[in-house]
Structures are given as C-alpha cells and as structure tokens.
Amino acid sequence: MQTNPTYSSLVAVGDSFTEGMSDLLPDGSYRGWADLLAARMAARTPGFRYANLAVRGKLIGQIVDEQVEVAAAMRADVVTLVGGLNDTLRPKCDMGRVRDLLTEAVERLAPSCERLVLMRSPGRRGPVLERFRPRMEELYACVDELAARHGAVVVDLYGAPSLADPRLWGVDRLHLTGEGHRRVAEAVWQALGHEPEDPEWHTPPPATAPPGWLDRRIADARFTREHLLPWIGRRLTGRSSGDGRPAKRPELLPWPELDPARPAADA
C-alpha cells in the first residue's frame, strides 16, 4: 500500500459505531472515530470532503437499502463499511442472509472507490455478549473473505487488546468512549498507509485499581435500568434506536476544521 497517501474524500457507512456513540460532545452530539479520521485527512488535503451516512441501530439490510447506493454514487476516494453486528445481537439471526447482504454491499461499494475499508468490530468481553460471540466471529470471517476477494483493507479491532478493556467502553457497555474512538481512528489511519501518530493504540491503558464491590453493583444496576432493559425491549418488539433518525452527515461536503484532540465526555 502507498505510504502517506493523499485522499480527497471519505464516506462512512454503517450504524451506531460509525455514527460515534458514545463519544459525546458538550452540545449533546456524537463525534466518533469517523469524524476524527476525517479531521486528520482534511488537515492534509485542502478541500477534503466527508459524508457520514451512519445511523444507530441499523441492520445490514437497512444499510444496504438506505446507505450503500448513496455512498457508491458519491465516488469517494475512501469508503468505510461497518455493518452486520446489530444483526448478530438480535434474538433470531439468519447468518446466511447477513453474509449475502454484506457481500452485496461490498460488491457495490468496492468498484466505486479507490479504497474500501472493512472492520472486525471491537468486542468487549462480558456475559451479555458472550452468547452472541460465535455469530460475531462468523461475521468477521465473512469480512476477511470479502476483503481478500475485493482488495479491501481490514482493520482488526476485534483482536486489539486495548478495545477489549472495559475502561474504553461507555456506560451502556455497547459503545466506545471518546478514548476508544480515538484509538479506532488511529487504527484506520494506519491501515490507510499513514505514518502512526500513536503506534501503541492497540495496547491497553496502564492498569488501575478495579472499582470496589459497591461501585460495581451501582454501575450494574444503572446499566440494567438505563440500557439493558430498553435494549432487550427494542429487540423483542422489532424497534430500533435509529427509527426515523436521519443520517449524521448525508452529503459529501467540505469538512470544517476540527481539532482531533478536542476533548469528549464519556457517555
């Protein structure tokens, strides 16, 4: 791959991970790894353009129907595609259909851009997600196969020790903190051929004393009340947190100045 390439445009396709949850800014909006990556790329290329079509809660079929054709028509230099994980977390999941839809998405996007980026999404360890892990790994095997077939770049976040660290996950235990998103942006930056700014992004933060028993129980109760039970309710009723929500940045437009080091609160 070319070292320190120059790309003039980026389109991000996907769900809440690409929308930027839980990298919460003071105004209540989400930043996330794709915005951070766009800011870095824009700093190298005057007139750089960026679109983020991601919407939280989207299944791979919805991503294909609502985002893929729009992204392909933009003819961006770089397209990132992350999808299918929400499907694997549903009570019932047809993995054959997920693989077919992901294949369709890649086959439509790969010819439309100079560089297609796929990801093995990060996976926090814990009992809630453990039952879904075989599906997740089947999804990532499909990602690897499609990347090899279509010349796409794969960013392996699933195998990064840092992104399994619970300290890099928000209180909902499903989305990364601002620091987690910063590390993802660094991983994609390097995968695109740029010189590392943080060669140790995959290394966990220094060890700290674990929270006490009472603090853990309070955190568990909050998680169950505010996130787990509503999440289960949406899964059982077929609803999504993204229902009726527009794309984050639906048009491929010049990216305004943004300091990649701008602090973000952990949600």
Q: What is the pLDDT of residue 265?
A: 35
Global pTM? 0.85
Q: What is the pLDDT of residue 139?
A: 96
Mean pLDDT of 129-142: 90
Band (pLDDT 50/70/90 cuts) for residue 142 is: very high
Q: What is the pLDDT of residue 88?
A: 92
With respect to residue 193, please indicate whether it lies within any of the assigned structural domains.
yes
With respect to residue 239, please indicate whether it lies within any of the assigned structural domains.
yes
Closest C-alpha to 55, from 73, 36, 68: 68
Mean pLDDT for the chain overall: 86
With respect to residue 4, please indicate whether it lies within any of the assigned structural domains.
no
How would you class 86 by CB atoms within 10 Å of its CB: exposed for 0-12, middle for 13-18, buried for 19 or more?
Answer: buried
173, amino acid identity: R
With respect to residue 1, please indicate whether it lies within any of the assigned structural domains.
no
With respect to residue 79, please indicate whether it lies within any of the assigned structural domains.
yes
pLDDT digits (tens, 9 = 90+) for 204-241: 987 766 776 666 576 656 756 655 666 566 556 665 56
With respect to residue 176, please indicate whether it lies within any of the assigned structural domains.
yes
With respect to residue 235, please indicate whether it lies within any of the assigned structural domains.
yes
pLDDT digits (tens, 9 = 90+) for 13-51: 999 999 999 898 988 889 999 999 999 999 999 999 999
With respect to residue 258, please indicate whether it lies within any of the assigned structural domains.
no
Q: What is the pLDDT of residue 219?
A: 60
Phi, psi for 54 (deg, rounded to 5): -65, 145
Q: What is the pLDDT of residue 182?
A: 97
Structural domain total, the chain: 1
Band (pLDDT 50/70/90 cuts) for residue 123 is: confident
Q: What is the CATH number of the domain that holds 46?
A: 3.40.50.1110
Note down the domain range covering 64: 9-205+212-251
